[in-house]
Structure 1
Amino acid sequence: MIGIIRYGAGNIFSLTSALDRLGFAYGMVHTEEDLAQYDRYIIPGVGHAGAAMSKLEQTGLVPAIKALQKPTLGICVGMQLMTAYSEEGDANLLHIFPNKTLRFKDSEHYKVPHTGWNRVHQDKQNPLFKDIPDDAHFYFVHSYYIEYNELYTLASTNYSLPYSASIWHNNFYGVQFHPEKSGVYGETLLANFSKI
């Protein structure tokens, strides 16, 4: 059963709708005591990373999240929160991954935010991407990206520069794209996560 970590950062309707379509049982995690009910977790997030981290700290869940031993998936800002630092709000984050989250530079050819479908290249083999072809398209909406680090990058993409589309370390996974808005491949990824 999937526990969705709730900390007041954004609408989770599209995520819960995707889980409903897939027939997956899920519930909401508001307190540390709630964590024991679930065998895996999703950290959703939209909006401002600095503000999201502040809200997460107010829940008192930060030490418990960093200590999780069960599969945990961060989506979009939820993935960025797993990094050490974000330029958005000049914020120190969970530091599960040592990477930094940086802002795209606006240019004539690359508008910020980056919105739309991008190919995702699988840098490593992992059950999260089982039955998903390499260079499949996923849907992105973001102004900040996680710097590419070969050690932690599970999958990468390119928008003005290469960056991490997915990261992985032990039981922690992150995706910058929105699997819940990425059609069949996004739903395949969520289904894969339910089996990790």
Structure 2
Amino acid sequence: MRVVLVDGGGSNIGSVRYALQRLGVDAELTADPERIRAADRVILPGVGAAAEGMRRLRRYGLVEVLRTLQRPLLGVCLGMQLLFEHSEEEDVDCLGLLPGRVTRLRPGPGVRVPHMGWNTLEKNRDAPLLEGIESGDHAYFVHGYAAPVGEACLASTTHGRRFAAVVQRGNVAGAQFHPERSARVGARLLRNFIEYGLA
């Protein structure tokens, strides 16, 4: 089983890699298109702004690699947002692997933005990626933008408004929360992705 972490310069790459090591998975960190295509599982981490994330992917020649990837792909945090068609953050076109626009979370009474902390997951439907994860489980979020609750949404959460927490369509999936900081739930999501793929 070859697991690759896409080296797009995201600051959470090291912690995601360590979370995988705790599961007994030694993931390779690479920006090499051929090594990414040859992997059995591909993880796209990311922290920061969408425009800079897309600039890094273009700089390394990885946009088309990810758009045409045949293997299971998991985006994490910003990596998940980049899977969508467009981000309101700096008005940037993203990878377009999932339908919809990522939009800014709006502050309000009791609602701070960026959203930082533990939130309750609401499971929308069963999928191998969510095996052992139930409605009411908690995950750790750090973000100021969020994806819509559309057809690809497997689980959602609410912070001011409801938004997608876990998404999947075909071989493309994403988690808005940080699996590496989400204790049992995060470890289970990563293990499910490694063991089951996105069947």
- Shorter-chain TM-score bucket reads over 0.9
CA distance in 2, matches of 1:158, 1:110: 10
**Aligned-partner SS, 1:64:** helix
Identity %: 37
CA distance in 2, matches of 1:25, 1:106: 39
* Superposition misfits of 4+ residues, deviation over 4 angstroms: none
SS in 2 for 1:84: strand
Tell me the amino acid that sits aligned with residue 156 of structure 2.
S
Q: 1:69 to 1:37 in 2, by over 3 A?
A: closer
| Number of residue-to-residue matches in the alignment | 195
**Matches of 1:9 and 1:23 in 2, distance apart?**
22
| CA drift at 1:135 | 2.0
TM-score, normalised to structure 1's length?
0.96
**What is the match of residue 173 of structure 1?**
173
Q: Which residue of 1 aligns with 2:154?
A: 154
Per the alignment, residue 194 of structure 1 pairs with 194
Measure the CA separation in 1 of the matches of 2:12 and 2:170: 28
Task: Give the CA RMSD over aligned residues.
Answer: 1.1
- Describe the superposition over 1:40-86 as per-residue Cα deviations: whole angstroms up to 9, x where unpaired: 10000001111111111111111111111111100000000001111
* TM-score (structure 2 length as normaliser): 0.94
In structure 2, what is the Cα distance between the partners aligned to 1:114 and 1:36? 34
Displacement of 1:134:
2.1
Alignment partner, residue 98 of structure 1: 99
Give the unaligned 5+ runs of structure 2.
Answer: none
Equivalent residues in 2 for 1:40-59 (5 A)?
A: 40-59=41-60
Q: Structure 1 regions of 5+ residues with no counterpart? A: none
Equivalent-residue separation in structure 1 for 2:5 and 2:37 (angstroms)? 12
| Alpha-carbon distance between aligned partners in 1 of 2:30 and 2:54, rounded to the nearest angstrom | 16
Between the aligned partners of 2:183 and 2:96, the Cα distance in structure 1 is: 31
2:111 maps to what in 1?
110
1:78 and 2:79 matched: yes
